[in-house]
Amino acid sequence: MSSTDYRNPRLKRAQAMVEFMLALPVLIALIYGVLEVSRLVFIFASAANASRQAARYGAGSGQPEGDFAYYQDCEGIRDAANRSAILAEFESINITYDRGVTPSGEQIPIPNVDPNPDADTCPIGDDIISNGDRIIVQVTVAYEPILSIINIEPLEVVSANARTFLIAVPIYGSAFPTGFKAETATPSKPVTFTPFEPFNTPIPIRTFTLQPTTNATYEAIRTAFPRTPTNTLPPTITFTPSITPTRTITASPTSTPIQCAGDFAVGHGPLVFDKNIMYMDIFNNTEHVLTTASIYVEWNHDAGGNPSLRLGQVRFAKQTWSGSLFAPSTYITSFYPFIPTGTSRIEFIFDETYTLQDGTERIIINIGNPGCTNYPVDSRH
């Protein structure tokens, strides 16, 4: 009768090999699953970073090349997204625009522009864009497992990012002080030193010869040769003090600041639209006639489907500016009207009826008088 000895080392090695072969498929599946999940997360991060970098490029200020802005540089926006792609190849890069979102989270569309991120509306025209609009970039990439061990359908990874861009920025400030004179650049005349030259001509010395007299007495000799002083003192110069007139200091005129706060503030009424006129009432409570430093205005181009609304005239307290402006936001150059006391009205007259108000309308009047430069009249405040 035979017996088996389980303490034999060969039997233990064979048992370990069998257990390892049973656990190996599970271990390989776990390692492969970790790799695939990591790859999926990496692709998702790459898509999110690409959409963010592309939207950041499109929201830049200025013009990269040519006569178009960054938000109109469609190829540059797509190149910015592709440069951020790592282990991913994007199937589509869509670019569109909107005017932000409402408090409830709904998109505010731009007229004739589809704000859906699935749409591609790039480039957009200058005549329908305004300050505060957003650029939206959406990238799409497909994910497939490396090995088809199990039947998993390809996943579509989508990432969208939006950024606000500006076209024109109003700058507030006051003028630099005038009448300042800097130090002259002409150097002062240097002091020259002339060396002293000694006298080379000898000074003649008067000599006296005494004639010997045998019978002369002391008094006779003293009378014949009287003593004279050899060192004669020069006359003393006496300075007489003169009366110097006292300098009178004349005070220079200074500008008296005007109070523009509290009960003396400069206020305004609401924006009102009447056919082709946009106007706002101004309330000057300072009891002084004020001067304007600049006038800034924003309006919507879209005039009921025809984006050609032009500003042709500005009237303020019987003062008029005329021209033809098509930009959605601009300063009224070479027009600095005065603001009379009490109530006055500023009017902006367009070439067509103002039919569509989109919330971008704004009027800013900067005051140039001291004491009022920090209190601009802004229709949104």
Q: Is residue 123 in some structural domain? A: yes
- Give the per-residue pLDDT at 178: 47
Question: Does 158 lie in the same domain as 15?
Answer: yes
Q: Is residue 180 in some structural domain? A: no
- Give the per-residue pLDDT at 176: 46
Tens-place pLDDT, residues 213-269 = 444 455 555 565 555 555 555 555 555 555 655 565 555 544 556 777 766 678 899
What is this structure's pTM? Answer: 0.46
Which has the minimum average pLDDT: 78-87, 144-153, 308-317?
144-153
Given 164, 192, 214, which residue is the final one in a domain?
164
- Give the per-residue pLDDT at 363: 92
Given 117, 138, 164, which residue is the final one in a domain?
164
Higher pLDDT: 375 or 240? It is: 375
pLDDT over 70 at 96, yes or no: yes
Mean predicted confidence (pLDDT) in 19-36: 86
Q: Are 113 and 123 in contact (CB under 8 A)?
A: no
Which distant-in-sequence residues (6+ apart) come within 8 Å of 93 by Cβ? 54, 77, 78, 81, 82, 137, 138, 139, 140
Q: Is residue 140 in some structural domain? A: yes
Tens-place pLDDT, residues 204-228 = 555 555 555 444 455 555 565 555 5
Q: Is residue 43 in some structural domain? A: yes
- Give the per-residue pLDDT at 345: 93
Q: Where are the alpha helices (DSSP H) in 59-89?
A: 74-83
Q: Is residue 169 in some structural domain? A: no
Q: How far is the C-alpha of 250 from the C-alpha of 312, rounded, in Å?
A: 49
| Torsions phi, psi for 319 (to 5 deg) | -115, 135
Q: Are 90 and 140 in contact (CB under 8 A)?
A: yes
Which distant-in-sequence residues (6+ apart) come within 8 Å of 162 by Cβ? 55, 98, 134, 135, 136, 137
Tens-place pLDDT, residues 46-70 = 999 999 999 999 888 777 776 778 8
* Local confidence band at 316 (pLDDT 50, 70, 90 cut-offs): very high
Q: Any idea of the CA torsion for 64, 69, 71, 76, to the nearest 10 degrees? A: -30
Q: Is residue 330 in some structural domain? A: yes
Mean predicted confidence (pLDDT) in 111-120: 86
- Give the per-residue pLDDT at 5: 55
Q: Is residue 188 in some structural domain? A: no
Question: Does 274 lie in the same domain as 146?
Answer: no
Question: Which of the residue ranges 97-111, 305-319, 367-381 has the most confident prediction, judged by mean pLDDT?
Answer: 97-111
Q: In total, how many domains does the chain have? A: 2
**Which CATH number do you get for residue 267?**
2.60.120
- Give the per-residue pLDDT at 72: 84
pLDDT over 60 at 270, yes or no: yes
Q: Is residue 57 in some structural domain? A: yes
- Give the per-residue pLDDT at 140: 92
Question: Which tokens belong to 35?
Answer: 């790799």
pLDDT over 50 at 134, yes or no: yes
Domain span at residue 330 reads 262-378
Given 143, 164, 185, which residue is the final one in a domain?
164
Question: Does 135 lie in the same domain as 266?
Answer: no
Q: Are 314 and 332 in contact (CB under 8 A)?
A: yes
The radius of gyration of the chain's CA atoms, rounded to the nearest angstrom, is 48
- Give the per-residue pLDDT at 281: 94
Question: Does 156 lie in the same domain as 27?
Answer: yes
Question: Which tokens belong to 203?
Answer: 């000074």
Q: What percent of the chain has pLDDT over 70?
A: 69
Enumerate the β-bridge partners of residue 316: 319, 346
Q: Are 351 and 337 in contact (CB under 8 A)?
A: no
pLDDT over 70 at 123, yes or no: yes
